[in-house]
Structure 1
Amino acid sequence: MNILFLCTGNSCRSILSEGVFNHLAPAGLKAISAGSQPAGQLHPRAVALLHNKGISTEGYYSKSWDDLPVTPDVVVTVCSNAAGETCPAYLGQVIRTHWGLDDPGHVVGTEEEIESAFEHTYDIINARIKAFLSLPLEELKDDRVRFKEELDRIGTIGT
């Protein structure tokens, strides 16, 4: 099963989500991330945070949703901008859910406040992905309505 974490810039929240998911997921589950308007570079604080958590970012880069190496089974939007956008036709019959997150890359304040915003975002992503991975995925893959309901519920964790 391929999971796409979609954001506008694909530099921070979607990258954090991809990294955490791939770090925690068992074999057979894989996350990728992309953006509708990719920034072209990863946010340095997002990369540093993942590294500090022992999560590799090898091979990660800011990419367009037009350049995906695989067709996703599930698309998770992680920012309010991407949620209202129309997904390209090639995404087909995917399950879509929205796990809105404030962008810690836009936080202005002291070093401590900015670091806190990144940690808070990471904590929410981590909790949501752990909830995702605890779902009975074999059972849900044949019940798209229930699967979407579960994914939508997970999107409220930490809000």
Structure 2
Amino acid sequence: MKVLILCTGNSCRSQMAHGFLQSFDKDLIVRSAGTRAAGKLNEGAVRAMAEVGIDISHHTSDPVEKYLGEEWDYVITVCGGANGSCPMFTGKVKHRLHIGFDDPSHATGTPEFIESEFRRVRDEIKEKFYEFYQSL
């Protein structure tokens, strides 16, 4: 099974979803990409995932164009921007889903509050993507 997870910057939410989904089943082929890839991972996302034992520090922030020619069982958008601008994968995608999350990188306030937002979103991503995985 091949799953592509899309976000706008591919630095935070899609990377966390990628990490969780791959941790649920090592046999899944999971990739993540951005409609406007940032080119680097958000350090808050890397730290939040490390707290739950998942290392995403080796992931890369890739542009969606890298994957347009491939066939996918699922393409899942995790932010409204990517959902609205998701490229057409006509004939190459069996299922297209949107599972949206807040962007913790936009959180403002104390370092403790910002860290708590990364954890909150991380936990929501884990829950929703585990539900998705169980539905397979």
Deviates most, 102-111 or 64-73: 64-73
Greater CA drift, 73-82 or 49-58: 49-58
Larger radius of gyration: 1
Q: 1:21-72: CA deviations, max 9, x gaps?
A: 1111252x22210001100110011111112211122541100111139532
Q: Report what 1:65 is aligned to.
A: 64
Identity of aligned residues (%): 36
Partner of 1:31: 30
The residue aligned with 1:18 is 18
Q: What amino acid sits opposite 2:45 in the alignment? A: A
Q: Figure out how many residues of one structure are paired with residues of the other and give that number.
A: 135
Aligned mates of 1:91, 1:39 — CA distance in 2: 28
The root-mean-square deviation of aligned C-alpha atoms, in Å, is 1.8
Q: TM-score, normalised by structure 2?
A: 0.90
Q: Distance in 2 between matches of 1:54 and 1:42?
A: 17
> In 1, are the aligned partners of 2:74 and 2:93 still within 8 Å (CA)?
no
CA distance in 2, matches of 1:22, 1:34: 15
Give yes or no for contact 2:79–2:102 (8 Å, CA) kept in 1: yes
- CA apart distance, 1:113: 1.0
My pick for the range that moved more, 6-15 or 122-131, is 122-131
Higher share of residues assigned strand: 2
State the alpha-carbon separation in 2 of the partners of residues 67 and 43 from structure 1: 20
CA distance in 1, matches of 2:81, 2:94: 19
Greater RCO (Cα-Cα under 8 Å, separation 6 or more): 2
Letter in 2 for 1:83: N
The code of the aligned residue for 1:48 comes to R
Q: Which residue of 1 aligns with 2:101?
A: 101
